[in-house]
Amino acid sequence: MKRPIHLSTPLATESIRNLKVHDIVTLSGTIYTARDMAHLKLKELKKSRKPMPEVFKGAVIFHAGPVVKKEGSGFTLLTIGPTTSIRMEPHSDLIGKLGVKALVGKGGMGNESLQAFKKYGMVYLLAAPGCGVLHAQAVKEVKQVHWLEELGMPEAIWVLEVTDWGPLTVAMDSHGNSLFHTIYEEGLKKLDSLIKD
């Protein structure tokens, strides 16, 4: 296994442009969770020209709904695993405009996202599913939460501080390459050869 490339937030465009599909990375710094409802809320804010809850330039968004326990005036993260990213496909251009540089999730994203990644210099990172407790171990602090009462625990935007989070696999890069496209094409070739046989 290749030695991981360590990145710290906020991510620089140059460091993201240097990443290629199959690279392994670890992340440290501030990351944000966002699922379906959070993306719709961000879209609404952008359309009405209202301020965003955070500055997303150089940011990492994790497609995840954490399980969090309230303790005193703060929160303790119990587990956090990736959710299926394709649901956020319609929002990739918006996320790029906000300055986000990396999306983390499972299952991959589509062609619209791939075009946005090329345009804005972004990558898609795969987080291992079924490893929520392990992902949570990288979270050193729950810094803040936005829209908890309005959207609920899984859909709120959680602001998390992580250290050496990973390994995460670059599955879609900023040059139009997609691990999912490669797997699909290889699968078609094998299927074709099986049919011919």
Positions marked active-site: 39
Specify the amino acid at residue 100.
Answer: V
173: CB partners within 8 A, 6+ apart: 19, 20, 21, 23, 117, 123
Closest to 19 in 3D by CA, of 99, 103, 76, 88? 103
